Amino acid sequence: MSAAGQGGIEIPERVESIAEAHDRLRAATAEMTEEQARASIDLPGWTRGHVLTHLADLSRAFARQARYAVEGRTVEVYDGGRPTRDRNIEANHGREIAWLRDQLDGGLAELEEAWSVLGAADWDRPCAYRDSTLLATQLAWWRETELHSVDLGIGYGSERWSLPLSAHVIEFLQPRLPKDAAVRIVAEDTGGEWTAGEGAPVVVRGDQRSVAAWISGRPAVRTPSADGPAGLPELNAWP
């Protein structure tokens, strides 16, 4: 697996991008109605309420990862693991928009506070999220806020993703590519290239943001193309 593209930005720049996403989410929920909160979105079986609940819970979970990590300790992302996450989303997604808004605002504030005390070296502290470091939580939250901003249908599409974000999404989601094909992704606007797998060669071409949208299962302004009669490869599950 290899990559070369527009993916390298420093931690402070990424934190600034995340702060902009927080502002976007707060502004969107401030105007959201009860009907809009219950409206279905492109994620199968989910409404905007599901997304807001998920983001509220995950922001608090990542804040806790940071608080424990600076004390030299680790803790589960969610008490009880993934089943607890799923139960909370199902139990709370249908609540009133005012409650959903307050939960999201509180979670974002908690995460901002937890991250505000971190120094550069703290991002390398171990945590339980994917048995990795706090930097992994920052990258994950960057993805989550950007991709779910698209899912919410608030006028923010994948064409507005930054080139560093889109390159990171492509790199992170390489495991979604089939292992029985030699897939080469070519970002025609940036020159970025990614390769993965072994087998019959497949070349996927498109602008970098559209490729990131395709591999993440989000709408793209221009659907990437693939060389050969088989078309775009079928994607595996989210890693």
| pLDDT level of residue 8 (50, 70, 90 thresholds) | confident
pTM of the model: 0.95
Quick one: three-class SS letters along the chain?
Answer: CEEECCCCCCHHHHHHHHHHHHHHHHHHHHHCCHHHHCCECCCCCCEHHHHHHHHHHHHHHHHHHHHHHHCCCCCCCCCCCHHHHHHHHHHHCCCCHHHHHHHHHHHHHHHHHHHHCCCHHHHHCECCHHHCEHHHHHHHHHHHHHHHHHHCCCCCCHHHCCHHHHHHHHHHCHHHCCCCEEEEEEECCCCCEEEECCCEEEEEEECHHHHHHHHHCCCCCCCCEECCCCCCCCCCCCC
Closest C-alpha among 176, 177, 219 to residue 198: 177
CATH of domain 9-156: 1.20.120.450
Span of 49-53, 81-85, 228-232 with lowest mean pLDDT? 228-232
| pLDDT level of residue 230 (50, 70, 90 thresholds) | confident
First-last CA distance in the chain: 15
| pLDDT level of residue 228 (50, 70, 90 thresholds) | confident
d(CA 222, CA 239): 25
pLDDT over 50 at 3, yes or no: no
pLDDT over 80 at 110, yes or no: yes
C-alpha torsion 45→47→51→56, nearest 10 = -120
pLDDT in tens, 116-153: 999 999 999 999 999 999 999 999 999 999 999 999 99
d(CA 84, CA 78): 7
| pLDDT level of residue 4 (50, 70, 90 thresholds) | very low
d(CA 141, CA 212): 16
Q: How is the chain split into domains, by residue range?
A: 9-156, 163-226
- What strand order describes the sheet that includes 225-226? 2-4, 193-196, 181-187, 200-206, 225-226
| pLDDT level of residue 56 (50, 70, 90 thresholds) | very high
Span of 64-73, 123-132, 221-230 with lowest mean pLDDT? 221-230
pLDDT over 70 at 223, yes or no: yes
CB atoms within 10 A of CB 74: 15
| pLDDT level of residue 98 (50, 70, 90 thresholds) | very high
Architecture of domain 163-226: 2-Layer Sandwich (3.30)
Residue carrying structure tokens 């706090």: 134
